[in-house]
């Protein structure tokens, strides 16, 4: 018997590539906007070559011989910035937490949820510096102004993170609490909070880290703290003192971030088994 020759595979037919004129037009428009933005900006492009040498000169002025005689005052002002950040974080938590629970699907009326979510988005769109400028007309140039601005800014982020955390919990405990005849508050207490509390605590610590960095920026408008010192000594061009202040800011911020990050990992992952 003669063996049958293997059948030749049919030629692959490549489907025609779909044309997407809308996407192409979008990329063209974005490219034109970027190019026009670069060319219309009032930038002295010829000075870019001098930038590395200028940066090196100012780094030498700031960090070549830092003025450590101002260190005690710098530490005190840094402590005031941390206090400002802490008070702003606590106030933001007290305001945002109940609002975030109401904003979650299944725990608040739809119109209320829509209004609260819009408020959270609106607050996130405004920098804390703008809130501080508005508040200082009432409270004056005090650390309380910075703390209130940080609290208002924290409501936007903590509120959004909060209702997203509530909506992502497992539905089983919630259904069990409702089947047992629990009210909305009881369902939140026994069905939601035990699951969502580690996430909430992690968000709170992360917001404190953000507020520590933001408090230094708020000091630039004169509400106190290490940012106020940076503004003053930069205006007088005392670069050795500015360098020392920057070292203090970096060391304190990195230390707080490291401690907070370690605590957040412990909360989310639990204790490590040795």
Phi/psi for 198 (5° steps) reads -60, -40
Count the Cβ atoms, other than its own, within 10 Å of residue 147.
Answer: 27
Supply 110's token pair. Answer: 């739809």
Phi/psi for 99 (5° steps) reads -65, -35
Supply 2's token pair. Answer: 């003669």
**Would you put residue 210 in left (φ > 0), alpha (ψ -120 to 50) or beta?**
alpha
Each of the 274 residues of the chain gets a pLDDT tens digit; together they read 455 555 555 555 656 666 677 778 888 888 888 887 777 766 666 677 777 888 888 888 888 888 888 889 889 988 988 999 999 999 999 999 999 999 988 888 889 999 999 999 999 998 888 888 888 888 887 888 889 999 999 999 999 999 899 888 888 888 888 888 878 888 888 888 888 888 899 889 989 989 988 888 887 787 878 888 888 888 888 888 888 988 998 898 889 888 888 888 887 776 665 5
Supply 175's token pair. Answer: 């259904």
Q: Which helix (H) or strand (E) holds 189?
A: none
Residue with tokens 């609106």: 122
Q: What is the pLDDT of residue 94?
A: 94
On the CB side of 139, how many CA atoms lie within 13 Å of its CA?
17
Q: Are 149 and 88 contacting, i.e. CB atoms less than 8 angstroms apart?
A: yes
Q: Which domains does the chain have, with CATH numbers?
A: 68-269 (1.10.3720.10)
Q: Rg for the chain (alpha carbons), in Å?
A: 28
Q: What is the pLDDT of residue 97?
A: 92
The end-to-end CA distance of the chain, in Å, is: 71
Residue 236 DSSP class: T
CA angle, corner 92, sides to 91 and 96, nearest 5? 125
Q: Are 207 and 158 contacting, i.e. CB atoms less than 8 angstroms apart?
A: yes
* Cα 194 to the center of its chain, rounded Å: 25
Supply 250's token pair. Answer: 């970096």
Report the distance separating Cα 130 and Cα 108, nearest Å: 31
User: What's the burial of 182, exposed, middle or buried (CB within 10 Å: 0-12/13-18/19+)?
Assistant: middle
Q: Are 91 and 148 contacting, i.e. CB atoms less than 8 angstroms apart?
A: yes
Supply 90's token pair. Answer: 């606590």
**Three-state DSSP class for residue 105:** coil
Report the distance separating Cα 154 and Cα 207, nearest Å: 7
């Amino acid at each position: 018997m003669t063996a049958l020759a293997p059948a030749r595979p049919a030629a692959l037919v490549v489907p025609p590539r779909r044309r997407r004129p809308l996407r192409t037009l979008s990329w063209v428009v974005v490219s034109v906007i970027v190019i026009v933005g670069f060319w219309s900006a009032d930038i002295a492009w010829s000075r870019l070559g001098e930038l590395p040498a200028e940066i090196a000169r100012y780094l030498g002025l700031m960090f070549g011989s830092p003025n450590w005689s101002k260190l005690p005052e710098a530490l005190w002002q840094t402590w005031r910035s941390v206090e400002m950040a802490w008070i702003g974080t606590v106030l933001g938590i007290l305001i945002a937490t109940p609002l975030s629970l109401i904003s979650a699907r299944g725990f608040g009326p739809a119109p209320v949820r829509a209004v609260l979510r819009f408020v959270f988005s609106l607050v996130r769109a405004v920098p804390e510096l703008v809130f501080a400028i508005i508040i200082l007309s009432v409270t004056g140039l005090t650390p309380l102004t910075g703390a209130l601005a940080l609290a208002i800014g924290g409501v936007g982020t903590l509120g959004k993170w909060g209702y997203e955390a509530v909506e992502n919990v497992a539905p089983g405990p919630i259904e069990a609490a409702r089947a047992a005849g629990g009210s909305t508050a009881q369902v939140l207490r026994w069905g939601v909070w035990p699951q969502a509390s580690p996430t909430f605590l992690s968000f709170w610590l992360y917001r404190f880290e953000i507020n520590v960095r933001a408090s230094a920026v708020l000091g630039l408008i004169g509400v106190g703290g290490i940012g106020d010192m940076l503004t003053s000594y930069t205006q007088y061009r005392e670069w050795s003192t500015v360098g020392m202040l920057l070292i203090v800011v970096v060391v304190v911020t990195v230390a707080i971030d490291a401690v907070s990050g370690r605590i957040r990992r412990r909360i989310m992952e639990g204790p490590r088994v040795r």
